[in-house]
Chain A
Amino acid sequence: MIDFSTLKGATLWERWQYFAQTMPESEAIIHWRAADEPVRWTYASLLETANKFSHYLKNIGVKKGEVCALIIRHNPNFYPLYLGIVGIGALPSVLAYPNPRLHPEKFRQGLTGMAERSGLNWIFTETALEEIILPFVEDKNTTVNELFFPMEWNLDKGLNSDTIQELSEIRANVKSNEPMLLQHSSGTTGIQKPVVLSHEAILKHVENYGKSIQISNDDKVVSWLPLYHDMGLIAAFHVPLACGIPSIQIDPFEWVLAPILMFMAASEEKATLGWLPNFAYNLMADKLSDEEMEDLSLESFRMMINCSEPVRTESHNKFFNRFKDYGFKENALAAMYAMAETTLTVTQTEANKRANELSVDREQLSNGKVIVAVELNKKKICVSSGKLIDGCKVNIIDEKRNVVSKNGVGEIAVKSVSMFFGYRNYPEKTAEVLDENGWYYTGDIGFLYNDELYVIGRKKDIIIVAGNNIYPEDVEDAVSKVELVLPGRVIAFGEDDIELGTEQVSIVAETSVVSEEDLNYLRIAIIRAGMGINVNIHKVYLVPPRWLIKSSSGKPSRKANRTRILNKNDEQVWSKK
């Protein structure tokens, strides 16, 4: 296991530089490319190019503390650019690369919303996106100074000693408790919550988390996770880079088209650690053929860690049974509970041991009690998210934020030494979730049993599709504007897709149209409205006017209507089966 007490560096830059000096030829990042040779960054080459980016960034006017948005698709120069931003004390913020289905105007609206809160100062992107992003940068109200295309910069020229000295002086003024990066905790288009983390928070997290998974110099990470997502950015990028171990980075856009890429890379590079949202377990088990798996070995994996959406026992079983013949070990099935607000991990299952499972009485659980199930038909199997990592505390609380009794079910409240500063420029949201004693109220529901955390649901209505958080409000707003949908008479909710191992977005909308042709037309229009905000609407239920049950506020109730749709065979409900 890595002895963290021997690692130098109070800031991330210092830590990376320490590795560049002590193990210059060790691999830092293996930039994987489908059907092409990977680009291999050593710590020395990575830092050398990062220095050039720092110099360039300084020359165009980027200053310490400024936020640099990165909207760049899988590119080998992304990593030194990211490091170069950190190397002048500015804050990198990785934003999602726009999916082609997302309407450019919606993408700009998302940027505007983000810029308001996050205070984006600079945008670094690709020339292919100039047309889409430029109107946002040229808007008179924008906070953004300028748009740049750093992948086009000529970095051939080396740096002279004066320049290196200047950069060293800038770096000497960056303190460990100062902001290091900005990430967005969740959200689709409308509600983005900017989370700022310090060097100290991240380095402490790397250490505490690294210890919990017994990270060693023999480890190698493989990941297709997008770097705008906390699991991709922290677990699969910052953790290995600050531990001095390599990470293999795969393009998420390519992975969804060819999931075999992850195993090809893992087999060839002998990866030991991976993180996946639950849906990926089902997708890979169901879709990868024996022909594709031929000659691949998964023996090197010691932990495949399930996170970002509810962990399902069926998915673990399916994955293990499908891949055991290729060397995948049952003990590699791990899980964790994590969030951007605490840098990442709160709890982690024991290293090199299958995540525990607990059979509880389903009825008692819905009444807020954890009773180990005896009757088979009442059984619900919950998968553990593991024990607290060092530096974290958890309380299970009731509606009044009082701690519940032993084995009680309630909201999960978290305290961590790697806590965020509060949502940037969003004090009202911060006040809602973070109290004066430093407890963060997650909105997730769960319980503690034998010191392990089990997460079973959410207090909020957020829909988690394949590890992405989707706010029903965003979808409802988009669908409400569709012609022939009665404005405001829409609800969006998450419906379990057992086969895929995730939730899918369902819509219930009131309409006056009745003919089969019109209803079909309206269904497609609603799905297209979802596409416009990059949300795939899986099921559309169309209902006549005044069908939706209202809550006390006068708005359609998501909970009541969801139950009504799922439980009742109502002839008034139209949907495509």
Chain B
Amino acid sequence: MISERLKNIICKELLLDTKSVEINDETQATEVPGWDSLNHANIIVAIEKDYGIRFKGLEVLKCNNVGALQNLIDSKVSK
């Protein structure tokens, strides 16, 4: 399940109110208002900064929804 922390980072980056958008495990980037290819890179950087982790481009490529992104974050944080 995606954490409030991740949801907050995404919403903060896209200037969205966390109450006004639904983001769950199955949500894809294209369903979130403002999450386009240009903002995608900013969101990834914001996550990296907040969690103190680094993604590799190919790792992110494999994430097809927010749940997969959360799993990737968790795997890095637990290392």
Contact = CB atoms under 8 A, between A and B. Distances in A.
Interface of A: 34-35, 99-101, 254, 256-261, 279, 283, 286-289, 291-292, 465-466, 500, 502, 504, 520-521, 524, 527-528, 531, 536-538, 576
B25 interface: no
Given A100-B30, A520-B20, A283 B57 contact: no
Contacts of A289: 54
B15 A576 contact: yes
Nearest to A539: B15
Given A35-B58, A259-B57, A531 B33 contact: yes
24 contacts: A34-B61, A99-B30, A254-B61, A256-B40, A257-B37, A257-B57, A257-B60, A258-B57, A258-B60, A259-B57, A261-B57, A261-B58, A283-B38, A286-B41, A287-B44, A287-B45, A291-B54, A465-B38, A502-B38, A504-B38, A527-B34, A528-B33, A536-B39, A538-B34
A319 to B, nearest CB: 15
Contacts of B34: 527, 536-538
A276 to B, nearest CB: 14
Interface of B: 15-17, 20-21, 28, 30-31, 33-34, 36-41, 44-45, 54, 56-58, 60-62
A75 B28 CA distance: 23
Contacts of A531: 30, 33
Nearest to A287: B41
A536 B57 contact: no
A291 B54 CA distance: 9
Given A100-B28, A100-B30, 13 more contacts: A101-B30, A101-B36, A257-B61, A260-B58, A261-B58, A279-B38, A283-B41, A291-B54, A291-B56, A466-B37, A504-B38, A528-B33, A536-B39
Task: Select the residue from A100, A257, A521, A537 with max chain B CB neighbours within 10 A.
Answer: A257
A476 B33 CA distance: 17
Contacts of B54: 289, 291
A524 B61 CA distance: 27
Given A35-B58, A254-B61, A258-B61, A527 B40 contact: no
A386 to B, nearest CB: 27
B11 to A, nearest CB: 11
B14 to A, nearest CB: 9
